[in-house]
Amino acid sequence: MTLKALAETVGVSAPFLSDVEHNRRSTDKLSAFAQALGVDEEELQRFDGRLSQDLKQWISDNPEVVQLLRELRSSGKPPDELRELLFNTAVRAKE
């Protein structure tokens, strides 16, 4: 499906859709995009690289998170592996 066809299907302009695609704009039409593309809305949300306002506030309230992210990045491990390590550690701590 072309960008123009998707934009027409959802009822937005092609430039607007391009801005959404490149994280320059947000939209409340994510559900419509997902439906038109035949994918789950959560799948599309995974590609949104912007931080939500509540996440920005949490980071602001907890500046040590920035250092933690730097350390995680410098580990060289991919995010999926880091997530699994963190999850497994949390599960073992509960046991």
85 contact partners, CB below 8 Å, separation of at least 6:
77
CA distance 5 to 63: 43
Mean pLDDT of the 3-22 span: 94
CB 17 within 8 Å of CB 44: no
Q: What is the pLDDT, as a whole number, of residue 40?
A: 93
Give the other-Cβ count within 10 Å of 3's Cβ. Answer: 12
Helix axis angle for 53-61 and 64-74, nearest 10°, is 100
Mean pLDDT of the chain: 90
pLDDT winner (highest mean) among 13-17, 23-27, 43-47, 53-57: 13-17
pLDDT band at 93 (very low <50, low <70, confident <90, very high): confident
pLDDT of residue 63: 93
